[in-house]
Amino acid sequence: MQVSKKILNQLKREAKRSFSVDEIFSNFSGKGISRESVVKALSVLENDAKIRHEKGGRWRFRSPVDSLTGVFKAHRKGYGFVSLADDDVFVPASKVNGALHGDEVRVRLGHKRGPGESREAKIAEITRRANKTIIGRFESQKNKGVVMPANDRLFYEFTIAPKNFSGAKTGDIVEIEVVLWPIDGQRPKGRVMRVIGRDTDPGMDITVIVMAHNWPQEFSDDALAAARSMTDAVAKEEIAERLDLRDQFTVTIDGLDAKDFDDALSLRVDKRGYYHLGVHIADVSHYVTPGSPIDKDAFVKTTSMYLPDRVIPMLPHELSTGICSLNPQVDRLAFSVLMEIDPDGEVANFKISETIIQSDARLTYEEVDRHLSKGLLKEPQTEKLLRLLHMLAQVLEKKRLARGSLNFETIEPKLILDKNGRPLEILVRERTTATQMIEETMILTNETVAEFMLDHRAPMVFRVHDRPDPDAVFSISKLISELGYPMRSLTQAHPRTFQALIDFAHNRPERLLINSLLLRAMSRAKYSPALVPHFGLASPHYCHFTSPIRRYPDLTVHRLVKAVLTKTLGTKEVMNLANNLAALTEHCSIQEREAEAASREATGVKVAEYMKDNVGDEFTAVITGVTNYGLFVQLDNSAEGLVHVRTLSGDYYRFEAERYLLKGERTGQIYRIGQSVNVKLVKVSVAQRQLDFIVI
């Protein structure tokens, strides 16, 4: 019997366990088979996807059903990845075999592309289609219609027969039913189910993006009826059951355009210099009960979606801007974390309690920043609270940074639109003193709640953030080193090593680039019932507690914390919740990513639309990426685009991948990542969110 066949039979017989090379080799003792032959056979079996190599140098039989099925995540350029049980595999465009983004597929594995890279695979079968219908723009041609999906990761053009137009005309945004899938080289076909509107209708560009992400824009009739039945007043009998904090001076601090207020603050200092901080969070769980129509709708979304021209709330407006919002001068039910903090920022004591509060003032980040810089507020209680809050935030930030927490320096574009949704201006928002004050108090509150639940060994939804991926860290380490930064190994590095790079870049022109590169190397934060330390915050335990109006995980944490306080962890309802936390947290993490992607695409469309009026204008930009086909550049207003290599005149430019630069063969002119360049905008595609520049 061949060595490989005997090894495969052995591992298949005992598929539930893994084996070391020595354990496998022991079966060939005295049979004239060398250990080298066994190792080679193992390698062949792995490349044939018959077995898999696990951590610790052990080998296990690979189940073709469990291990070779996953969800296809497409890139708009045609290739994609499939996440299997034990690996992520790369699918080149030539081997997609008609799969669309989100489809469940079975793959046939090939060889690894190189050290540290994903294994290559071919899609062998599509086991479940993700898209029953598709949203796109209709265009009538000679004897047919075509629809290009709004989601650019669905990279096929669908043909529509004239009998299936259903009245659609060129420029209509339509929803189509798929009649024929793109398999075996066939062009996919569809049937128009309905015309949604014209591509020129105000707001339609954003609506199309939302629909392409299959995001619910309306609430169910049952949820709306339940919301409308709620009174905007707090019941007197409920007040009697709660800690009454209405006599404490309390304020909310949010953005100028905020409509719902999750959190309010109260603060005083005693004679010892101890801060008494009250963080009061909207008690959404009192109004939204598990399994209710409002709860079911909220669970589908799991988060509010924030777009340039609108917010799609997780909860109906009757709750999100009404009874659950901590509006000023009205009684509101809250879930409060009352903390006693020593002068060094340590929480000496705390209490979590169901409360009733009344916010005294609604402040904005903008006016708080103006006050702190110019002293414009005249109301003495507000002035005192802000002064104390500023002092406390500085103490908390100093303590957090000392333990190694990261403070990324990023910019966020804020689009100012007219009544028709046309962009008038791009404002660049950065972290300010006011936002820092709120961030520090919310981080402390979330850590305190997570610690409380750990102390009670209760089921919990944690916000976790793994260490950066070693391959990603290795890649950016070389890049940052090319920029002349003092480098130590970032692999297994403490967060404060990353913060040192952020600090070093603070006053340099490539500041935002360095922050972006480091962020790219980070793992994605997610929700989990299992505790994993939060790398970015250098926090041993963390959760999301402070935004239950807009995040379902926070609402779930409220329910679990209340179960501890009321000693109802053993009830059927709470036990059922605890047993389903793994599925709940995975769903919440997926929906969070979907909402972020839609928001990013919508912002990209509006930035491109704004820049379309600037074609021909000149800008100063920073090179944020270098490839064999050109340079990616970013402007001060956050807009990004491409300088194609063919537009770099006067020389032939060769790409030096290991040094992240393009170099002219004749002149020696170098374009490297992080370099400042003067560019002219020459072309904008709003639909594709693409900007083309030339170097001047």
For 451-465, write each residue's pLDDT tens digit.
Answer: 999 999 999 999 999
- pLDDT of the residue at 49: 65
With a pLDDT cut of 90, the percent of the chain lying above it is 66
For residues 540 and 561, what is the distance between their CA atoms, to the nearest angstrom? 19
Decide if pLDDT at 119 tops 80.
no
pLDDT band per the 50, 70, 90 thresholds, residue 66: very low
CATH-assigned architecture of domain 133-201:
Beta Barrel (2.40)
Three-state DSSP at 646 gives helix
Q: Is 64-128 assigned to CATH 2.60.40.10?
A: no
Residue 510 DSSP code: T
Higher pLDDT, 47 or 29: 29
Contact yes or no for 71/82 (Cβ under 8 A): yes
Residues with Cβ < 8 Å from 660, sequence gap 6 or more? 478, 479, 482, 626, 672, 673
Residue with tokens 């333990």: 403
Q: What is the pTM of this model?
A: 0.84
pLDDT at 88: 77
CATH of domain 614-695: 2.40.50.140
The pLDDT tens digits for 401-449 are 999 999 998 888 999 999 999 999 999 988 899 999 999 999 999 999 9
Lowest-confidence segment of 66-70, 75-79, 659-663 by average pLDDT? 66-70
Is residue 431 helix, strand or coil?
A: coil
- The pLDDT of 361-381, averaged and rounded, is 89
Half-sphere exposure of 639 (CA within 13 A, CB side): 31
Helices (H), 262-357: 284-287, 293-301, 317
Q: For all residues of the chain together, what is the average pLDDT?
A: 91
The CATH fold assigned to 3-61 is Arc Repressor Mutant, subunit A (1.10.10)
pLDDT tens per residue across span 623-664 = 998 999 999 999 999 999 999 999 998 899 999 887 888 999
**Domains 64-128 and 614-695 agree in fold:** yes
Positive or negative torsion for Cα 220, 226, 232, 234: negative
Residue among 600, 621, 671, 593 at smallest CA distance from 71:
593
Rg of the chain, C-alpha, whole Å: 28
Dist. CA 456–CA 454, nearest whole Å: 5
**Backbone φ, ψ for residue 106 (5° rounding):** -110, 135
* Residue 52: per-residue pLDDT: 74
Helix, strand, coil tally for the chain in percent (to 5): 35, 30, 35
Q: Which has the higher per-residue pLDDT, 152 or 561?
A: 561
pLDDT at 611 over 90: yes
> Domain locations in the chain?
3-61, 64-128, 133-201, 221-466+527-601, 470-522, 614-695
> DSSP class of residue 99?
-
Quick: pLDDT tens for 270-311.
Answer: 999 999 999 999 999 999 999 999 999 999 999 999 999 999
First to last CA, the chain: 69
- The whole-number pLDDT of residue 42 equals 85
Phi, psi for residue 40 in degrees, rounded to 5: -65, -40
